[in-house]
Amino acid sequence: MNSYKIAIIQNKLSTQNREGSDWYKHIISEYKWIKLFHASNSIDINKAVIELQMLQIPTIVIDGGDGTIGLVISSLFNNYKNQSFPSIALISSGKTNMTAQSWGIQGSREIVLSRLIKKQLDGKLDKSFHPEIILKVSREGKPDIYGTFFGTANIVDSILFCRKYIYPLGFPNWLSHSLAFIVFIQKALFGSKKVNIIHSVEIDDKKNQIWSETGNFFILIVTSLSRLLFSLKPEVIDQDDSISYLTIKQKMISIIALLPIMVHKKIKKNKFKKIVKPNSVSIKSINYFTLDGEIYTTNKNEVINISASHKLNFIR
């Protein structure tokens, strides 16, 4: 019979873990029913998921950022066939932690892990979860990938710029993200006006209506999260069982209209921003996209299909 109750998958290369990956030792040392896996890439993560599947461990704690969480989620869907998925708890250790901020227990890493252990000891852990929607991203001839935040256009440009020029400076997350936002706006206002042309976006919405839009986009986002960077909240996500599709066109007035959002923290639909609740989204003619911080390149005529595929249980 399996004696492990909780598995921790720790990405030792996540931003906060680089500064001290043994932060958890004094918390878990006396609990032999906690299994620890160290990972630094997708191969390590997949091996860990396969082993915890064999051990039938009912709860996974992911110690990393959005990218690590996305890789674990994809590995779960690719490996668990006709089996119940484990419940998932999230610890914020990355450069971006939108998924943990939306669906995790809030607090420091030490507080979160201690609360999870107490829930297990009190017999409440398996009653503390909430089901959340996971995005499935499909491309012909390639394995499906899963996550919570899909972005393209200036979203990817800014991520690549920040990884090269801002993040290596070692600033705290709040300062790095503030600088990233400034770069984000600057590139939109003064960068090339033709780099983010998307020739076809087809949306199947909740009213079972199919429509499309084309053009030069400032940002294009599909997400199931309730909180984005800077604690921004897309208005439509407040409803259950929905994902959100958000676009802003590459027009100066549209981009300037985005600035008040940083004060109000709410992304509302208006004449400058399109927000809908889709069943699925198909996109054609982009160079690259991000899913939970991982960057993927595409072919010019490749069609990318995004759907609300499945649900996983997240512990809060």
Domains of the chain with bracketed CATH: 6-127 (3.40.50.10330), 138-309 (2.60.200.40)
228 pLDDT above the threshold of 80: no
Q: Quick one: pLDDT at residue 237?
A: 44
Strands 142-147 and 129-139: antiparallel
Q: Taking 70 as the threshold, does the pLDDT of residue 208 lie above it?
A: no
Cα separation of 248 and 255, whole Å? 8
pTM assigned to the model: 0.84
**At which residue do the structure tokens 């394995």 appear?**
143
- Distance (Å, rounded) from C-alpha 100 to C-alpha 103? 5
Weakest-pLDDT range from 182-191, 192-201, 222-231: 192-201
Residue 246 or residue 236, greater confidence: 246
Contact yes or no for 109/233 (Cβ under 8 A): no
Question: In whole angstroms, what is the distance from residue 259 CA to residue 280 CA?
Answer: 29
Inter-CA distances, 133 with 169, 226, 313, Å: 35, 11, 9
Q: What are the φ/ψ torsions at residue 24 (nearest 5 degrees)?
A: -85, -15
More reliable by pLDDT, 49 or 222: 49
Residue written as tokens 């969480």?
A: 69
Q: What is the DSSP string of 221-289?
A: EEE--S--GGG-EEGGGGSSS--EEEEEES-HHHHHHHTTHHHH-EE--BTTEEEE-EEEEEEES-SEE
Cβ pair 285, 197 in contact under 8 A: yes
